[in-house]
Amino acid sequence: MATQQFIRVSEYGPSDNALFEYVLGLGDTALVLGQRMAEWLGHAPSMELDIAASNFSLDLIGQAEQFLNYAGEVEGDGRSGDDLAFLRDGMYFRNHLIVEQPNRDWGVTMVRHFFVSTFLVLQYELLSGSADEKIAGIAAKAVKEMRYHQRFSREWVIRLAGGTDEGFKRIARGFDTLWRFTGELFEKADYEDTLIEAGTAINVSELEASWQGEVDALLTQIGLDKPTALQMITGRTLGHHTEHLGHILCDLQFMQRAYPGATW
* Mean pLDDT of the 220-227 span: 96
Per-residue confidence band for 3, with pLDDT thresholds at 50, 70 and 90: very low
Is 80 exceeded by the pLDDT of residue 84?
Answer: yes
Per-residue confidence band for 2, with pLDDT thresholds at 50, 70 and 90: very low
Helix 133-161, helix 18-38: angle, nearest 10: 30
> Cα separation of 61 and 197, whole Å?
29
Per-residue confidence band for 182, with pLDDT thresholds at 50, 70 and 90: very high
Share of the chain above pLDDT 70, in %: 94
* Mean pLDDT of the 234-254 span: 94
pLDDT for res 90: 94
Positive or negative: CA dihedral 46, 47, 50, 56: negative
Give the class (CATH, top level) of 17-258: mainly alpha
pLDDT for res 228: 87
Share of the chain above pLDDT 90, in %: 88
Q: What is the DSSP letter of 130?
A: -
Q: What is the pLDDT of residues 116-132, one digit of tens each?
A: 999 999 999 999 999 99
Per-residue confidence band for 262, with pLDDT thresholds at 50, 70 and 90: confident
Is 70 exceeded by the pLDDT of residue 1?
Answer: no
Per-residue confidence band for 4, with pLDDT thresholds at 50, 70 and 90: very low
Residues 6+ apart with CB under 8 A from 108: 102, 170, 173, 174, 177, 178
Tell me the pLDDT of the chain averaged across its residues.
Answer: 93
Q: What is the pLDDT of residues 46-77, one digit of tens each?
A: 999 999 999 999 999 999 999 999 999 999 99
* Mean pLDDT of the 86-100 span: 96
Segment holding 170, helix H or strand E:
helix 165-178
> Facing residues of 6 across strands?
232
Q: Where are the alpha helices (DSSP H) in 76-132?
A: 81-86, 106-127
State if pTM tops 0.75: yes
The residues spanned by each domain of the chain are 17-258
pLDDT for res 13: 63
Q: CA–CA distance from 35 to each of 25, 136, 141, 149, 223 (Å)?
A: 15, 24, 20, 15, 31
pLDDT for res 12: 59
What does the DSSP assignment read for 170-237? HHHHHHHHHGGGGGGGGPPPTTHHHHHHTTSS--GGGGHHHHHHHHHHHHHHHT-PPP--SEEE--GG
pLDDT for res 9: 35
Q: What is the pLDDT of residues 152-178, one digit of tens each?
A: 999 999 999 999 999 999 999 999 999
